[in-house]
A and B are shown apart, each in its own frame.
Chain A
Amino acid sequence: MSQIDENQILDRLKNLSQVGPTKEASDRAMQKVRDTLMSEKAIPKRGTGFQPVRTRPGWPCHVLSLKAVFRRRLPLFLVKLAAAAVLMIGAGFIGGRLSAPEPLNVQELQAALESSLKSSLEPAIRQELLSQMDDRWQSTLTVSQAQIKDELAQQVRRDLMEFAAQTLAASGTRTDQRLMELIRLIEAARIQDRRRMAAAFDYIESRFGNGLVTLAARTDELLDAERVGSAPDISER
């Protein structure tokens, strides 16, 4: 499997061990490290909880090199100046925050708004509500009044019709009763008249029966005689 032997590896490692920077490069690198450390000490970071960007794990090397280039180009006094500017800005910010008016208390504002709105809007809302209720009641009562009037008229009409019908029926009955009573009285009167007539005839018959028969017979004879006597005169004429 292995196509490379230990000697070749050792040769390569030996070549690697011979790689080295020049003295100038080494001095330059050391000087840069010193400068960097001095500028790091000028801005203390320990204890602030802030971790420098370049020391964050996983930060790409090209970004690190850019940072280093920045640092290489920036002299120390610029760094100090920047730090002073940051301090000034921070002091200004803190002063502004301290001198700024206190933030509004939301609860107080809400309570004030609530009371103000209540005092200004409640009478109007109440009035409006009352007027709406009145209108609604008025319209409801108007409709109800018309309905009640109609119902009442119908009821009165029905009652009158019923009363008329009952009155007619009662009067018809009373009229029939009166008529029947009248008929009975008339009948009774006729019967009584007949009885009286019969009694009179009986009395007459009992008192004047024979005379009457004689009278009737003589009357009849007279009549016959007159009928016979008058007849030749007629024929003579």
Chain B
Amino acid sequence: MDKSGADLYTLLTRLTLREDVAEELMQELFIKLNNSRGIGSVANWNAYARRAAINLAFDWRRSQKQTVLTLGQVSEPVSNDDSPLGKLIHSEELTETLDAVGRLKKSSREVLIMRYLQQESYDNIAEQLGKTSHHVRALCSRAIRNLRDVLGSNDHQSSKKEIHNVSNR
């Protein structure tokens, strides 16, 4: 539990960008795993727990979209840029990226997170997922392309909104 628990906590922190939320989700994850009746028949416990953690984190993100954040809940941006504006932009970019990741298919999302957020090798991912490394590469490539499309459509929509707002003025 120590090794996988720390990894899962790190993953949850990366996906939520908030340590307190990651703590709560961590507790919820382990309670859920503890109470899960079919946990004994799971072959790869780490993969099962990681998938559950990813789902929990993105469920939380989805619920956060529907609630109004108070000032105290706004996360501290993680950035090398010390200026407040730079921190804000960096935080917005990470949030936007995570939201876009949340809109991908579950298989693509898991591969993308394992490869780019947890920095695991293609072989390791392939071994954990029971696929070939070529297949994992293809999935990663397709996930990045989809992510680019999602982010591009977001930028397009936001720029259209800005143009619309300017024309209204």
Binding site for B on A (CB under 8 A): 1-6, 9-10, 12-22, 25-26, 28-30, 32-33, 36-37, 40, 45-46, 51-52, 54-55, 60-62, 64-65, 68, 71
In Å, the complex CA distance between A180 and B135 comes to 158
Complex CA distance for A79 and B6, rounded to whole angstroms: 27
* Chain B residue at minimal CB-CB distance from A20: B10
Of chain A, the residue at the smallest CB distance from B60 is A61
In the complex, what distance in Å separates the CA atom of A16 from the CA atom of B31? 27
Task: Please determine whether B23 and A29 come into contact, CB atoms closer than 8 angstroms.
Answer: yes
Q: Are A33 and B10 in contact (CB under 8 A)?
A: no
A33 to B26, CA, bound (A): 7
Q: Mark B76-104, 1 if CB is under 8 A from A, else 0.
A: 00100000000000100110011000000
Q: A4-B148, A28-B23, A68-B24 are in contact. Are A17 and B13 (CB under 8 A)?
A: no
Q: Which A residue's beta carbon lies closest to that of B73?
A: A62
Tell me what chain A mostly uses at the interface: helix, strand, loop, or mixed. Answer: helix
CA distance A17 to B2 in the complex (A): 20
* C-alpha spacing A2/B64, complex, angstroms: 27
- Known contacts A3-B156, A9-B144, A13-B97, A40 near B31 by CB under 8 Å: yes
User: Which of A19, A26, A40, A45 is in CB contact (< 8 Å) with B14?
Assistant: A19
Query: Given contacts A3-B156, A61-B64, are A17 and B119 in contact (CB under 8 A)?
Result: yes
CA–CA, A127 and B99, complex, Å: 90
Q: Tell yes or no: B151 within 8 A of A by CB.
A: yes
Q: Which residues of A contact B151 (CB under 8 A)?
A: 2, 4, 9
Q: Tell yes or no: B54 within 8 A of A by CB.
A: no
Q: Produce 1/0 per residue, B53-88, CB < 8 A to A.
A: 000000010011001000000000010000000000
User: Which residue of B is nearest A3, CB measured?
Assistant: B155
Interface of B is mostly: helix
The answer on a CB contact under 8 Å between B152 and A1 is yes
| CA–CA, A33 and B148, complex, Å | 37
**Known contacts A3-B152, A30-B6, A55-B35: does B19 contact A19 (CB below 8 Å)?**
no
B152 touching A54 by the CB < 8 A rule? Answer: no
A37 to B28, CA, bound (A): 10
Query: B94 touching A9 by the CB < 8 A rule?
Result: no
Given contacts A10-B116, A14-B116, A21-B10, contact A40 B34 (CB under 8 A): yes
Nearest chain B CB to A62's CB is how many angstroms away?
A: 8
**B32 close to chain A: CB less than 8 A:** yes
- Cα–Cα distance between A14 and B119 once the two chains are bound (Å): 9
Sample (22) of A-B pairs whose CB atoms are under 8 Å apart = A1-B149, A6-B144, A6-B148, A9-B148, A9-B151, A10-B116, A15-B90, A16-B94, A16-B97, A17-B116, A18-B78, A19-B13, A20-B10, A21-B19, A25-B9, A30-B5, A30-B9, A37-B30, A54-B31, A61-B24, A64-B28, A68-B27
